[in-house]
Each structure stands twice: as C-alpha cells, then as structure tokens.
Amino acid sequence: MSSPRRIEIYDTTLRDGTQGEGFSLSLQDKLMIAQKLDELGVDYIEGGYPLSNPKDEAFFRDIRAMKLKHARIAAFGMTRRRGIKAEEDPGMKALLGAESPVITIVGKTSDYQARVVLNVTLEENLAMIADSVRLMQSAGRTVIYDAEHFFDAYRANPQYALQTLLAAQEAGASVLCLCETNGGALPEMIAQAVADVKKHVSVKIGIHTHNDGGLAVANSLAAMNAGADHAQGTINGVGERCGNMDLTTFIATAQLKYQHECLKPGSLVHLTDVSRYVYEIANMNPVTNQPYVGASAFAHKGGMHVHAVQKDVSTYEHITPEDVGNTRKILVSEMSGQSNIAAKVGKRFNIEQDKVILKKVLGKVQELENAGYQFEAAEGSFEMLLRRVMGSYMPFFSLDHYRVVVLKHDDHTPIAEATVKLRVGDTSEHHVAEGDGPVNALDGALRKALIHHYPKIAGVHLTDYKVRVINSREETAAGVRVIVESKRARSDGTVELFGTIGVSHNVIDASWQALVDAYEYHLTHTGEEVP
C-alpha cells in the first residue's frame, strides 16, 4: 500500500459522461452540476469540447461568471489536424477561445491508429502532439495530455507509446493521463504499465479508465497504487458503452481505505448528495445498490444481519455510512426478524421490548408480503400498519363508494372522471373530479372531499406512481402492486418523501389503497384530529 498523498480528481461528467446512452444535459444542467462539483471539492471539471456544439461553447462563456471557489475548468479537444499549423487549426482556436485555465488535449498513442485512423506518419503524429501542447502551454494554459488507447498501445509497441508521452511532456504538459479507452484491461496490466512509465517521465501521471470489464475502479486504484496522482472519471460512472470509472466509488475508497486526500477537507460527507443530485438533474433512476452512495448500500433486511448490526455495526458494514453522507436503513419484509422492527421503529413507538406487539407486526408483514405487498419502499404504509396492530390507528374517514370512468371521443385525448362518496365524522361528502388519468382523477375527488375537514391535506402531493404485476401467469387478471411516492411539507418547513402501497387484482383499487395510506400518514403527522 502506497503512503498517503494527494490525488487530483478530474471530473468529466459534463463531457465524457454525456456520451453515455440516456444521459443528456442542458446548458443549465451542466452549469448546476459544475457548481455542485465545485462545492464537493474536485480539482478539475471538464466542460466539453467547445468546437463540437453551441451548448459547449456557451458553457465556457457562462461558467466564467460563476466564480468557482475550488475547481478549475478544463476544455477538451484533439491534437491539431495533419498538415496544418497548430495556431491555424480551428480546433486549437476554439480551445483557446474557451478561455478556460486548463486545456486537455487527446492524442494517439498507438502506432497502428496513427497510420490507419489518422493516416499520418509516426513522426507527424509526434509533431501533432507536441505542437498542440506547446501552443496551449505558451498561451499560459495548464495542459493535461490524454494518451488515448495507451495500455493497448503500450502492449503492442511500448517504445513508440513512450515517445508520444515524452513528446507531450517536452512540449509542456503538466499531466500525462494514461487512458484505458476500451475498458478491457486487468489491474495487474495497468499497475505494471504505470510503474514502467513512471521510470521514464518527470511530470504527474494520470489514469482514465472505462468499465467494459467491470474493473474501471479497480484499474484506477491499481494505477494509483503504482504511482498515478491524477484520476479521471464521472459521477455515478456514466459514460459511453458500459460507462467511465465511477468517481464516487473511487474517491470513497481512496480516502477511506488508502487514506489519500482526494477532495478538499470535510467534503466527503457530501458525496451521496452529489451522486443523487446528478441522477436527479439528468432525470435518471439512481442505482440503489451503488457502492457507498446507493440507497441500499447500508440497508439491512435479514433478521440475523439486523440483530448483529444493532450490537456492532461493523459486523455487516465496512464503513460508517455518515462518512459519505449516506444513512443506514433497516428494512422490514417477510425475511425480517423482530429485531428489524425493533430497530426500525422501536424507540419511536416505545415497543422495543414489547415482544407481543413485535411478533404481531412481524406476522402481519409476512402475511401481507405473501399476498404481494412490499414495505421496503412503502414506509408510510408500514407505519399505518403498525398503528393498526398497536390499536392506535383512528381512521380520518370511511368510504361509502368510489367510481371511475374514462371518457374517450374520437381522436380527442381521453379524460378520466372519478366520483368519491365518503363520511367524515357525521358529514357525508360526495365529490367529482376530472384528471389526466384515473388515479389523477381519484386523487382530485378524494382531495375535494377532505380539504374542508382537513386543510393541511394541501401539504401532501403525489410525486411518482409505479405499477408492477405480481402474478403474471394470470395475464390480464393478474394482481398488481402499486407504489405511490409522495412528498409532504413538515411543520418545520422541510420536506419529507415517503412511499405507500396497495395490492389488488384491480389497479384502481390498489391505487386507492396507496392514496388513502398517503393521506392518512400525512394527516397523522400534522396533528389533525379525527372528528
């Protein structure tokens, strides 16, 4: 294990990350993420290739007004074209025009690619690298040289691969970043090549890996341990094909396992927040089992695990979740033991030592999960179940009936209409609402029926709706599980996100169950009194 040292973090989410399928960012998205990365404390933020599209060109213009506190912005581009002077090349001009303090130049390391892809002599390729780096360095920019396909090229022709690095170094590059472009190398190959290169160069060595073999983080750590002091990657590992090296995993491992310094002091606790922020801005579903920052990274479900974690968290956790800004979760399911329930809600409801209640709750959970319920993502419904078993549940209303119809005329957009009749105390409420769909209409009618009795109902809103078939062998008669995700305003001004669940052979009725649990969960926590 190498001695603790400073590892530069170079984030390329805004450029290399956006080459990934399904990952797209607007100009405003890129600016917002850049600000978040600066707050996290990365050293470099690669904004894009200013010649490739107007959005990247606008990014470099707008980012200058943001006055970042820590990170330095890098513009990315290729070496000059063959047969043209660097100062006359449009790509070189665009890089200088970006006015970024750092410029990253990518060049060919492979003798084969220089001859076949670029159609130049090996000497001309070296000149293209040197001329491009020299122009940027003479303009006062910090130059990072990305050696594309380095590891494949080094295996095929190590002498020429080293020549390309030395050409960049002699022209003024401050970092020589070795790129594992195809993503198929193994850690031992990476470590050996980095160690060899370190003997021949005098500037900082960087590493840029891809995840095609599932080894991007492992390869970057191997490079780091062999002497690399600069690591390039993306938040959440987004990127082309199988993605880039995931900076969240690399940073956490480098700092917590190897004791290297990657971020500005005190910033590691914001790692989970930044990971989820990028998912949210890009409108992507988070990877729940993502190391360190995933929602399930510190989730415990098996009864034996929970029992042990309550005594000593190190029995099933390799770090403290708060170190990376994450939290421990105790899940309740048919696999749970009483210890899960005691750990999850015992203190809050004063039932930690009540074996009778714990046993009843566990039995009910197992019964309902056998019928298709899942409470892992439905903590609101689990709390309402708990209150029913404890005898503290008081219904805020009772249903007489609901009816939902969908109206479709010719080519017009269909409209759903819902009617709800219920009783609140001694009062009968009968209301109708229209919506874009049956659940939206049902939600509207229920809200109308309750708002006069419970004004605080205005503080809860449905944010997502998910349906899953739970016994597909019955085809159209199959049962369905509906998860409603809601947000509610707390009295202290903060917002709580929670889930509720319904299960039925009728998707509307499953939706009704989840909606009712959401409203009653919210009303219970607002202190509204039952008539």
- pLDDT of 160 reads 98
3 state SS for 295-345:
CCCCEECCHHHHHHHHHCHHHCCCCCHHHHCCCCEECCCCCCCHHHHHHHH
- E-strand spans in 272-363? 299-300, 329-330
Which residue bears the tokens 């029995």?
315
Strand order in the sheet with 460-469: 460-469, 480-489, 495-504
- pLDDT of 341 reads 67
Q: Report which DSSP code applies to 193.
A: H
Supply 411's token pair: 């080519």
- Biggest alpha carbon–alpha carbon distance for the chain: 91
What does the pLDDT look like over 228-262, one tens digit per residue?
Answer: 999 999 999 999 999 999 999 999 999 999 999 99
Tell me whether residue 252 is exposed, middle or buried, using C-beta atoms within 10 angstroms of its C-beta: 0 to 12, 13 to 18, 19 or more.
buried
- Residues 6 or more apart whose Cβ sits within 8 Å of residue 161: 109, 110, 147, 150, 153, 154
Q: How are beta strands 329-330 and 398-407 bridged, if at all?
A: unpaired
Supply 179's token pair: 């790129």
How far is 191 from 222, CA to CA, in rounded Å?
5
- pLDDT of 378 reads 83
- Percent of the chain scoring above 90 in pLDDT: 64
- pLDDT of 476 reads 46
Contact 306, 312 (CB under 8 A): no
How far is 183 from 198, CA to CA, in rounded Å?
22
Domains for the chain: give ranges and CATH numbers: 8-281 (3.20.20.70), 299-390 (no CATH), 397-453 (3.30.160.740)
**One pLDDT digit (tens) per residue for the chain, 531 residues:** 668 999 999 999 999 999 999 899 999 899 999 999 999 999 999 999 998 788 898 999 999 988 899 999 999 999 999 999 999 999 999 999 999 999 999 999 999 999 999 999 999 999 999 999 999 999 999 999 999 999 999 999 999 999 999 999 999 999 999 999 999 999 999 999 999 999 999 999 999 999 999 999 999 999 999 999 999 999 999 999 999 999 999 999 999 999 999 998 889 999 998 998 898 788 787 888 999 999 788 877 665 665 565 666 667 778 888 899 887 766 555 555 666 666 666 677 777 788 888 888 888 887 887 788 878 678 889 889 989 988 888 899 999 999 999 988 887 889 999 999 999 999 999 999 999 899 999 999 999 999 999 999 999 998 888 888 876 455 444 588 898 988 888 888 877 888 899 999 999 999 999 999 999 999 999 887 776
- E-strand spans in 181-281? 204-209, 230-233
- pLDDT of 143 reads 98
